[in-house]
Structure 1
Amino acid sequence: MKTGSSLLLTHHLDNRHYHFSQFENGLRVIFVEDPTSEACNVAATVGNGHFSDPDDCLGLSHLLEHMLFQGNKKYKAIDAFDTFLSLHGGSVNAATGSEYSHYYFSVTGEHFSCALDHFSQLLTAPLFEKEAIEKEIGAIDAEFSLKINDDLRRLYEVHKETANPDHPFSQFSVGNASTLGELNLQEMQQRLKTLHQDKYVAQNIALCIISPFSHQTSLALIKQYFGQLEKRKPSKRPPLPALYLPEQLGIRIDITPLKSARRLIVTFALPCVHHYYRTKPLSIISELLADEGPNGLLGFFKEKGFATNISVGGGIEGSNFRDFNVNLQLTELGLANIDSMLEALFQYLENIRQHSKLCFFDEKKALLEQIWQFADAIKPIDEAVSLSSAIYLYPCEHLIASEYILDKADPSIVDEILGFFTPSNMRVKVVSPDAQTNQISQWYNTPYAVSPLSPQLLKKLQNESCSSLLTLPEKNQFLSREHTLTQADEKYSVPQNIFASEDFNVWFGQDTQFGLPRGDCYISFDCQAATTGVEATVSRKLWIALLNNHFQQTYYQANVAGLNYHLYSHQCGFSLHTSGFSAKQLTFNQELIEQLHSLEDFEKHFEQVKQQQCQSLHNNLLNKPINRLFARLSAFMQQNTHTPLSMVAAMESTTLEHVHSVKDKLLNDRYMETLIFGNWDRKHVQKFSAELNQQHKAYNGHKKLSRSVFDLSKQDSLLHALPCEHPDAAVVIYYQSPNTGRRDTLLTILLEQLVSPVFFNFARQQAQLGYLVGSGYVPFNQHPGMAFYVQSPKYSAQHLITVIRDFLQKLTVDLLPYQKNWRDIKQGVMKQLCQKDANLSIKSQRLWSALGNQDYRFSQNKDTANELERIQFSDLMNFVNGLIIGKNMGELILYSDPKHSISADELSTTAVNDISEFKKHTPLVE
């Protein structure tokens, strides 16, 4: 490690420059100079959240966040900033939390100054026009309505209702028409102004700037745009009371979800622990509780048939409180044995108390140092939000190091924190469809019941001793202490085909850009058996789930040590992706491939895993209408994608024999393609590839399978209704571009880039169709297309379709003003499509996608840039006209409306009722 500029602690491989400044007016800013960055990323964290909401105006802080985008004194147009950024390769977003609000944007470097001007005006000089306030209250109410059937929101509300009513956490934070409509518009306007004037002051704002510009350049711009803020402190908030009253601890809360779910969530109430960031006691406790090995907590529960998954450590936190959750996904048997599971949890906690913890500190410290020094860069915008938030939590010198530093290993602090892990200091939430309840939550109508844990159970848990059936993890065999960099050969800076045949291909490339001891290995299997129908699809899905269940238990420590795997299905088979540190990765990959071929013993967990898969498919049918419509669109467009409803029926009848049969068929007749990219030498990779090929030769091979999609261009406009019980109407209108060529792809992307803010503003602000509105670039197997979508609590699906089509009819006129910005627009799209890879994983993923697109020269960026340069604004207008009149453009309208049906003739469309029949009679297009 080294001490960087302005005394910020960084590591020796970090070549960026950091500067922390506090201005005379109290504004705090961290500047990150990154010469490799092609964009500027800015985040502002404001010390205001829903804890500031007055009792008679719940949701005020959320409304304030919305209102900052509704025009300001200098840029009066609604969503002016969003529109500006969309024209210059950028984006903006915001979020309101309990004690902080976050605003963040990215933009190309040449427009950084103007974007900062927009941003400063947005934060400091909002208009708060009454008409806009009324519309945004409607938008927030639509957001509330959209989420009313979201189980996470519903569980969260029960958590709030069962906390201390005097603590602001217990308040309704989102707001809706009811809470924000109690005051008239003039009163609401004054409330917003008062809150803004109090909280959005320099001393209550922290900024992070990540850009290629020098610290001096960025500093001058911040002074220019934020330096005029007066020096003034926000009002001091009174100390927060205890989050829970004594009677709200040592309790059981039974909750009925909407989706089929069975969960046990054990919450321990802790104080704030940020000051222990150099010891990280919760990280030590979390990793021990989350160990998924056979002798850990989850392994014990799996052996008993009680649980199938575990997550540990998440929970609400604030300036004086912290929840620590142990969250278990249960089986029906587990649901009937909650007390036994609690006993095992406290036995395991006692094991942790009694065990020496120095070895765990040693491993954790080594791993954190490796992750910090050799980690793939995270998205700059995410890093900016993280750093602007860190300014409120950590001393200046540790702003960069806070997540990684562990220089005060102290087992006594772990024991001190474990002192809060007691039966009388916990809340037990049991989520199940058959919960016995006697209360309904106020806003989300969630049934629940609260009861004290029995004195007998509390006493038993208090006196639990260590269990010999539960053991803490052994030394991590996957952790590499030494990492060396391979001497790269420039020849392999672009992947080369080092094993080539009709049915087996290996591509190898070396990282010459990032200089990290990391890499990615992708192995894809195209299998003829994967294309034979829904029964084979669900058997493959179930086999992959069974393998992942086995890997989860066997290789949990590999994930902890920075060796990751992802085994997943795709259109024509399945893939295995390993990533992380390169030292032991190819050996790890070989082991996984061997297990994939040889593992046969699935009987023990078959019913559990099958039940999980069935539950997941059933729950898909309860997703919000827009999600279900996009899932149905995928089933329409792709040969081997099936609807969740058809998969539910097939899954329920699938047996273990079916799985074994399909597994054998998948493996016996296949095509293999591999990309190995990162910190490896050719000799090592050739040995790995030869062994992979030797194994492959024992099976039948065939050519790579086609990823064709169904051709809509020769069809009439199509209309498909999706039955759905959700009260909102929803519509997705999909337009398939004429062909898969690079030109059509770029025209579609350019059009979506221009249309997106225009349509969003029209649908959300002007037409007020609902909260969930938008458009997007939607390719299927590289065939370009775009979709417009709306989910509305107010209007029928037919009205939504008519409004969207009317909008498109006027699109040529709406887009004409953008002609003067055409070069900037193209440059913005160019930088998005052809930007430098942000990290090694993103580069590997791009190269893997290129292979999937049969771009064997890996020249997509260059070819894209050349083609984009040739496209004129008139070309885009011709493309738009083709969309409007339906020339060579396929139109597929999917809708859901529980109250109204639509006549296909009224919309000049052809109804499609049976997807299977549609696929039988519709031609495919490459």
Structure 2
Amino acid sequence: MSWRQSLRLFSFATLVLALTLPSVTVAAQGVKALAVTASDSDPRQYRALVFDNGFEALLIQEPGAQTHWVMTVAAGVNQDPATLPDLHRLAAMAKLAAVGADWRLRSEDRYSLFRADDLGELTRAAALLSATNIEQSLIARTQQQLADLQRTGHQVSDDERRIDVLRTLVASGHPLAQRTGQSASLVQLPLLEPELAQFWQRYYRPDNARLVVRSQESLDELQRRVSDAFVGLAPGPALERAPVAEMFADDTLPLQVDIRVQSGPQLGLYFPMSNPEALYRQKPLAVVTELLTDRGPGSLLSLLRSLGWAHTIQAGRVLSSDSDSLFALEIELTELGVAAREQVVALVFYVIEQIPYKGLKPWRFDELSRLAELDFLYTDARSARDLPELARRLHRVAISDILSAPYRFTAFDEKLVRRYLEFLRSDNVIIALSDSQVSSDTFTGYTRTAYRTQSAASKHPDIKLAVRRKLAFAEPNNFVPKRLVVKEAQLLPGPGGAADGALKVVDKPGLEAWFHSGQNLSMPTASVYLRLQLNTVESSADAAARHLLWAQVYRQQLDEILYNAEQAGAEYRLWAHPLGLDIEVAGFNSQLGLMLSRIGQAFSTPGVAPSGVKRARELLIEQLGRPTSEFLSRAYTDPLLQWHYRPSWSNVELIDALGRIQDEELRRAPPVGQLLMLCAGNLYRQEAQRLVALSEHYFLAEARPTGEQAQLVTAGRAPLAVAYRDGELSVYFQAAGSDARESVFTRALAGLLNGELLTVPAGEGETAPPPLAVRAEPFPVAGRPGLLLQSSQNASPDELLAAVLERLAEPDTGQRLDELKAVWRRQPREPELPPWQGRELWRELPREQTGDYRTALAALNSASIERYARSLFQAVPYPLVAPEDSQQRSAYQKARTLESLGPVVP
């Protein structure tokens, strides 16, 4: 769960869908079972256990889940003595060694985490919390192990560098201060033993530990196993809490810090404050965080972007102890923003000053409370449970609130919010600029990060009236659903009219649209998929680059326009590809019309601010140079996919063309030649047709523009094979057909071969070549199944295929196929969770797949898979020119003909 989600304010006053059960006292003495507030949409069962000795455990019964448990002990970096770093790690490792456990151990600021996959190990977990004398020889051996671990190389991230500097600035004696002195792994035993004994007595006790167990076993069985292990533990002795020192010495703040990092510049404002974790029902910082990190029109970030000073902004706590914490506002700056850092800081404090007067409105709490109910019911319930996070949370919230705590809110307490807002003062801040250009002779002791400090001004420049007028707090969010309705199954149309249950609802020149009611009728969610096939975007490298740059500018504009929709639980994605642009929209069924309207209104008038175009150009150049992107289709980075588009241009040509595009060329959207659309999910057919009509209005002009569209090509009747080298050998085989059998068999080949070490058969009198390590994956293109094999650079295609056939002829192939089939029968072909219903169907349209998946699966055996592989490998791989060789590629493009490639697939 993100920091934004965890800081939201959510009301449970109207959450009637939560499951609340009375507490139950069980037969075993010393433990009591309690109910856990959970959503009715959650398929899991929960039970909380509270022991008389102070220990607490959460039990999760999840159908089909593998057994796994996590135990946390509140003993981490914060608990190390000021002059004895790493004592908490040594204590945890020595405890593990003493009970003979080989578990995963993780060390954090406030906790040590122990993880295992066997319920039988719970007895040993309980032994960690009991008083035991550990032999000196075992402690010495553990010291050596810890010293060896510390000598292992570790790549320090920029976030770790910033945290290290902040800890260095915290006053000595505070739990968050950086520890100094010799590591516990190097201290002599006579001096170390008393410290270890005191550490174990203070922290390794039942009331300082929490457990989360997940299994498919019944809750009664889990309760029995956990109770048997932990109920007999004696409670720890009463301890006095030592007074906590101030986080920063008097007259330290405000402070300016420059930190050397490797990434781009970032401005951080860090405010020390009392830890608000105990106030998880009131969440005093949530509205403040929402106002500061808003991306919508009139927001601080919108203004900073328009000035060309910043890219992103986020807020949350970066360091926490039991009593206090650092609240951070972090802004990713541009080069111009670095030069204007003082003005950026002044704008931040101006916005903070306005919050008490214009921002603290009860309706904001009400709005976030409504979002709480939706998130808790429809998002959280279907999320994978993060057991370590739940185990940490058990230390901080009432156990019955363990699931609902990030969303729970009681009432708007304006006085409390104002009290926490008082911490965000200009005289109570560390202003840190992280940049690669910082030079200093001062270094931290832990990560050896260079930094320098100086006093910061508590007064900042006034903001001009013209600038102040551009800032405004958000109005009520129109995307928040007022009421949600699950459409009744009997009123939804059934399958028919097309493959896979998709019903074609519009078929006319320039527009084809399908509707599918989805498989999940218990949630009011739906998705809309649009493909805008654009004319002439690939007619030249300049036209292709102009399309990509326009689409990136359009995407950046939507980031602001649809911010409110994202806050209300909706999602959208844009993918640029040689055919045009794919837009995917998902959310509650009542939101889709408004989202499509906003997207359509921005379509023909993308923002063309010079700073935005500059940022878009930089992002595109960066993404064209790496193997994956969240915006560009793999057709721009994968040599194999590039070969299937006609025409297509190398990344070198596209990057070169991007530099020639003028801002004025981006004022109009490329003309749409054809619109393809799928509406899927909990919708009525009439609603889907209205969404189609709305999209037609915004994206299709009355007179269809002329111009040739780019085309996607695939093989004809004969299989298509391609071989190319891009650091390693890649051989691609496209299936001769597009039915279910081809899909199942190519997928089976990938499952059998991926990760295998294959033996290459040697000819008579020849020395056997070294074995080949192979990666294999199913690789459909244009709806046609395919298989991609990749291996070491020194192999030839013939050697690779010979090794594959040799492996398929081995006797264990049938058994391995049976194992694969058993897994596939238990799982959907491509499981997906709402709201992205219908994505796999969208990939299949408009192609209609023939054949039955179950029949194809039944026909799969060792003999049939070997025959299929031999037929697939009959095609001689065509050598593909390396995409880096632009001159050869250009000649190859001209020589390529339609007959050599096969038919065009829309």
What range describes the TM-score normalised by the shorter chain of this pair? 0.7 to 0.9
Whether contact under 8 Å (2:731, 2:790) holds in the other structure is yes
How do residues 807-818 of structure 1 correspond to structure 2 at under 5 angstroms?
A: none
Matched-pair contact (CA < 8 Å) for 1:11–1:373: yes
Residue 215 of structure 1 and its aligned partner are, at CA, apart by: 1.7
CA deviations over 1:194-234 (Å, ceiling 9, x no partner): 9999978766553334555532243345457x569955759
Q: Which amino acid aligns with 2:605?
A: L
1:606 to partner: Cα distance: 2.9
1:394 aligns with 2:422: no
Change (3 A) 1:540 1:444: farther
Pair 717,170 (structure 1): closer, same or farther in 2 beyond 3 Å: farther
- CA 1:96–1:369: 2 relative to 1, 3 Å: same
Question: Which of residues 340, 364, 367 in structure 2 aligns to 1:363?
Answer: 367
**Cross-structure match for 2:49:** 21
> Residue in 1 aligned with 2:498?
none
Alignment of 1:87-106 (within 5 A): 96-102=107-113
Q: Distance in 2 between matches of 1:482 and 1:448?
A: 53
Aligned counterpart, 1:477 = 478
* Distance (whole Å) between structure 2 residues aligned to residue 826 and residue 405 of structure 1: 44
Larger radius of gyration: 2
Shift of 1:398: 1.4
Rounded to whole Å, the distance in 2 between the matches of 1:690 and 1:73 is: 67
2:602 partner SS: helix
Please report how far the alpha carbon of residue 411 of structure 1 lies from its aligned counterpart in structure 2 after TM superposition. Answer: 0.7
Q: Distance in 2 between matches of 1:205 and 1:487?
A: 47
Q: Are 1:545 and 2:552 matched, yes or no? A: yes
- Call closer, same or farther: CA 1:423–1:142 in 2, change over 3 Å: same
Query: How well do the aligned residues superpose, as a CA RMSD in angstroms?
Result: 5.7
Instruction: Call closer, same or farther: CA 1:361–1:607 in 2, change over 3 Å.
Output: closer
- Measured after TM superposition, the shift of residue 915 of structure 1 is 6.9
Deviations 1:317-338 (CA, angstroms, capped at 9, x unpaired): 3433332222223333332222
Distance 1:315-1:492 versus aligned 2 partners, 3 A rule = farther
Over 3 Å counting, the alpha-carbon distance change for 1:693 and 1:244 in structure 2 is: same
Q: Which amino acid aligns with 2:20?
A: G
> Cα gap change, 1:140/1:750 in structure 2, threshold over 3 Å: closer, same or farther?
farther
CA distance in 1 between partners of 2:95 and 2:653 (Å):
46
CA distance in 2, matches of 1:441, 1:515: 55
> Cα distance, 1:135 vs. partner?
9.7
Larger relative contact order (Cα-Cα within 8 Å, sequence gap ≥ 6): 1
Q: Do 2:176 and 2:320's aligned partners in 1 also have CA atoms closer than 8 Å?
A: no
CA 1:747–1:650 in structure 2 vs 1: closer, same or farther (change >3 Å)?
Answer: same
1:9 alignment counterpart: 37
Aligned: 1:599 with 2:605: yes
| Aligned-pair CA distance for 1:46 | 1.5
Aligned residue identity for 1:675: L
| Structure 1 residue 123 displacement after superposition | 10
Name which of 555, 570, 573 aligns with 1:566.
573
Q: Distance in 2 between matches of 1:775 and 1:238?
A: 58
Is 1:581 matched with 2:588? yes
The correspondence of residues 282-681 of structure 1 with structure 2, limited to 5 A, is: 282-313=285-316, 315-355=318-358, 356-375=360-379, 377-382=381-386, 384-435=387-438, 437-441=440-444, 446-453=449-456, 457-460=457-460, 469-488=470-489, 489=491, 491-492=493-494, 494-500=501-507, 504-511=511-518, 513-527=520-534, 529-531=536-538, 535-570=542-577, 572-596=579-603, 598-600=604-606, 602-603=607-608, 605-611=609-615, 613-614=617-618, 617=621, 634-639=637-642, 648-660=655-667, 663-664=669-670, 667-669=671-673, 671-681=674-684
DSSP-derived class of the 1:19 partner: strand
- Provide the rounded CA distance (Å) in 1 between the counterparts of 2:734 and 2:142: 40
Q: After alignment, is 384-393 or 356-365 more displaced? A: 384-393
Distance 1:879 1:340, change over 3 A: same
State the Cα distance separating 1:344 from its structure 2 match: 1.9
Task: Give the partner amino acid of 1:459.
Answer: K
Residues 1:31 and 2:59 are matched in the alignment = yes
Cα 1:398/1:869, change in 2 over 3 Å: same
- Greater shift after overlay, 242-251 or 164-173? 164-173
1:575 CA displacement: 1.7
Query: C-alpha distance in 1, partners of 2:97/2:627?
Result: 28
Secondary structure in 1 aligned to 2:686? helix
Aligned: 1:281 with 2:284: yes
Query: Which segments of 5 or more consecutive residues in structure 2 lack a partner in the other structure?
Result: 1-15, 22-33, 129-133, 496-500, 736-741, 759-772
SS in structure 1 at match of 2:47: strand
**Alpha-carbon offset, residue 117 of structure 1:** 4.4
Q: How far does residue 154 in structure 1 lie from its aligned partner after superposition?
A: 3.7
After superposition, the Cα gap between the structure-2 partners of 1:21 and 1:323, relative to the gap in structure 1 and judged at 3 Å, is same
Partner-residue secondary structure (3-state), 2:318: coil
CA separation in 2, counterparts of 1:193 and 1:834? 55
What displacement does 1:539 show?
Answer: 2.9
Structure 1 residues 714 and 551, CA gap change in structure 2 (3 angstroms): closer
User: Offset at 1:301?
Assistant: 2.6
Q: Given the alignment of the two structures, is residue 914 of structure 1 paired with residue 902 of structure 2, yes or no?
A: no
Q: How many angstroms apart in 1 are the aligned matches of 2:351 and 2:169?
A: 28
SS in 2 for 1:614: helix
| Aligned with residue 685 of structure 2, among 682, 687, 696 | 682
Q: Alpha-carbon deviation of 1:170?
A: 5.2
Q: Secondary structure at the match of 1:315?
A: strand
Structure 2 CA distance, aligned partners of 1:548 and 1:398?
A: 39
Indicate the residue corresponding to 1:725 in structure 2: none
For residue 746 of structure 2, what is the amino acid of its counterpart?
Answer: D
Q: Which amino acid aligns with 1:472?
A: F
Provide the rounded CA distance (Å) in 2 between the counterparts of 1:420 and 1:284.
15
1:503-545 per-position Cα deviation (integer Å, ceiling 9, x unaligned): 5332222245352222221212244545456544543332223
SS in 2 for 1:749: helix
Query: How high is the sequence identity, in percent, across the aligned residues?
Result: 16
Q: In 2 relative to 1, CA 10–505 (structure 1 residues): closer, same or farther, beyond 3 Å?
A: same
Q: Take 2:654 and 2:578, find their aligned partners in 1: how far apart are those partners?
A: 15
State the shift of 1:681 in Å: 1.2
Secondary structure in 2 aligned to 1:458?
coil
CA 1:482–1:915 in structure 2 vs 1: closer, same or farther (change >3 Å)? same
Alpha-carbon separation, structure 1, partners of 2:173 and 2:217: 47
C-alpha change, 1:130 and 1:749, in structure 2 (3 Å) is: farther
Q: Structure 1 residues 101 and 577 mapped into 2: Cα distance closer, same or farther (>3 Å)?
A: farther
Cα-to-partner distance string for 1:840-872 (whole Å, 9 max, x where unaligned): 2254434334448x4658x9xx72x65556555
* Cα separation, 1, equivalents of 2:424 and 2:848: 55
Displacement after TM superposition at 1:499 (Å)? 2.2
Q: CA deviation at 1:422?
A: 0.8
Letter in 1 for 2:110: E
- The structural deviation recorded for 1:440 is 4.5
Contact 2:280 2:405 in 1 (8 A): yes
More helix by share: 1
Normalising to structure 1: TM-score of the pair?
0.71
Task: Return the letter of the residue paired with 1:39.
Answer: A
Secondary structure in structure 2 of the residue aligned to 1:430: strand
Q: Does 612-621 or 536-545 show the bigger shift?
A: 612-621
Shift of 1:19: 1.3
- Normalized against structure 2, the TM-score is what? 0.73
- Shift in Å at residue 274 of structure 1? 0.9
Q: Does 1:743 align with 2:771?
A: no
Cα distance in 1, alignment partners of residues 469 and 202 from structure 2: 58
